[in-house]
Structure 1
Amino acid sequence: MACQHNRFWIVGILVIAFLSGCVPNETLRKQGESSRNLGEAYMAQQNYTAALKELLAAEQLTPDDPYLHNDLGLTYMAKDRLDLAIQHFKKALVLKPDYAPAMNNLGTVYLAQQNWDAAIVCFKAITGDLLYATPHFPLSNLGFAYYNQKKYDLSAKYYQEALKIEPGFPMAIRGLGRTYQAQGKRVEAIALLEEGVKLFPKSPELYNELGAAYLASKNYSAATAAYTKVIELSQPSSPLAKEAQKSLDSLRTKDSSISPK
């Protein structure tokens, strides 16, 4: 009887020890989630330094959180630390191999590094994922990667697939318009981009691409109007506004009827 009593006593101690060990772990998890949520709030405000501080604090508490590592990757991307971004996206994928957004983000870093082959591997890995909510993103990214490899037929194919899923996706409209121009399909490029600026009348990027298509077709007055719109819609000191102004300056040498701005 004494032996049985001792056995229950020992089991009781073990249960208490297990439960007491769970409490600090659960507390750490909640603290980590709180820091991650605060970091994500800073990310939404584009305050990446404050975000990084909170996310690194969260990493100390919950180092095995794949969503945290994805956030860290995005934050390091915003701070132009692509090497660290790659590390954290890869860590997120080790912890959660089916984490499609992290795979897409990893591919995006490779695009920024102009590592087209590595980017293509990442995007192809998730284009068939039926559970991924935004497949038009990796499809459009594939279009961009193949465009830069000068594989224009493949580029057009993936941009078109992206637009079948999300017909009003501006990145794919712009990319396909550019690809059509590279293929010498100027009529198709202009038609697509004209529809694009109707859908997104405040997009300087689309107007800039449309201006280039008009310029290639020697429609100088239409090109001038498009580039002027780019300047109107862009920040005056932005690279896009400066590029549009250079295009306007070049156009004046072709068409003396264009008045200086």
Structure 2
Amino acid sequence: MIKPMLAVGMLSLVLTGCMTTTTGEKPRKTDPNAARDSYIQLGIGYLQEGETERAKAPLSEALKLDPRSSAAHTALALVFQQEGEDTSAEQHFRAALAAEPDSARILNNYGAFLLAQERYNEALQQFEKASRDTLYRERSRVFENLGLTHSRMDNTEAAKASFERALRLNSRQPLALLELAKIEFQQQHYVPAWEYYRRFTQLSGQTASSLWLGVQLARRFEDHNRAASYALQLRRLYPASPEARALKASESS
């Protein structure tokens, strides 16, 4: 990620690059597309650092140079989404799609925004369109998002198929592995649930939800040491979580 001091240095370079210079003969201007891209990279750097206020200025400058820049609109949409300015975020997502309607990257980002808004049918449309781009390098994540959307809509079999598709594209997707473990556990298919969960733990840190699932699976297989270990982590790391309360209730029943 770009450090703040480096980002400030980049800004001065970008501003210099946008100026007209003279060599004693003819005035020479730098490439406005290069200046636009530099502004976008600067804004993304601030966004990655969590400095959303500082990200807005260079991204706005990029849009002055190119009002239809899908990259600048997408970055600003993510800035506003992070700030909770949902109306502005959606405006920029739509502007980005107007400029580049078939971009799987933008469709996936917009779908994730809609999913967070609990606008499931709309999110599903974006993810389904993004999933058709067979050359998109993050396609496995699109199918993960499709799975999450179907899960929220209680379309369990469609969710399962989407998560399985994600793993066929990239077997090292911890979210898909965990969600499949949950589905298999709910369907009382404990052996595949345990296998998905085991693979998940090799790739990711634990959450309250995953630890509680681990406790329940370990108990099913009478792995008392592992169940006790997961329970201890759950109580220590997430003492106020609903999962910790469920654990306490299960131990007193």
Offset at residue 149 of structure 1 (A): 1.2
Q: Which amino acid aligns with 1:138?
A: V
Give 3-state SS (helix, strand or coil) of 2:233's partner: helix
Residues 147-168 of structure 1: CA deviation (Å, up to 9, x unaligned)? 1111111110010000011101
Q: Cα RMSD between the aligned structures?
A: 2.7
Partner of 1:242: 240
Change (3 A) 1:66 1:42: same
Residue 89 (str. 1) matches residue 69 (str. 2) = no
Give the TM-score normalised by structure 2: 0.77
**Unaligned residue ranges in structure 2 (runs of 5+):** 1-27
Residue 34 (str. 1) matches residue 29 (str. 2) = no
Partner of 2:23: none
Change (3 A) 1:53 1:127: same
Change (3 A) 1:54 1:223: farther
Residue 188 (str. 1) matches residue 187 (str. 2) = no
State how far apart, in whole Å, the 1-side matches of 2:227 and 2:56 are: 43
State how far apart, in whole Å, the 1-side matches of 2:119 and 2:71 are: 25
Residues 131-156 of structure 1: CA deviation (Å, up to 9, x unaligned)? 21111111111111111111111110
Residue 66 (str. 1) matches residue 70 (str. 2) = yes
Residues 205-226 of structure 1: CA deviation (Å, up to 9, x unaligned)? 3x73252254378559444422
Q: Which amino acid aligns with 1:96?
A: E
Change (3 A) 1:150 1:182: farther
Which of 141, 148, 165 lines up with 1:137 in the alignment?
141
State how far apart, in whole Å, the 2-side matches of 1:143 and 1:250 are: 30
Which of 167, 171, 177 lines up with 1:163 in the alignment?
167
Partner of 2:206: 204
Q: Indicate the larger mover: 65-74 or 172-181.
A: 172-181
Computing the radius of gyration from Cα coordinates, the structure with the larger value is 1
Q: Tell me, yes or no, if the aligned pair for 2:211 and 2:233 is still in contact at 8 Å.
A: no
State how far apart, in whole Å, the 1-side matches of 2:164 and 2:150 are: 13
Q: Tell me, yes or no, if the aligned pair for 1:210 and 1:223 is still in contact at 8 Å.
A: no
Give 3-state SS (helix, strand or coil) of 2:38's partner: helix
Partner of 1:253: 252
Offset at residue 98 of structure 1 (A): 2.2
Residue 101 (str. 1) matches residue 105 (str. 2) = yes
Offset at residue 127 of structure 1 (A): 1.1
Figure out how many residues of one structure are paired with residues of the other and give that number. 223
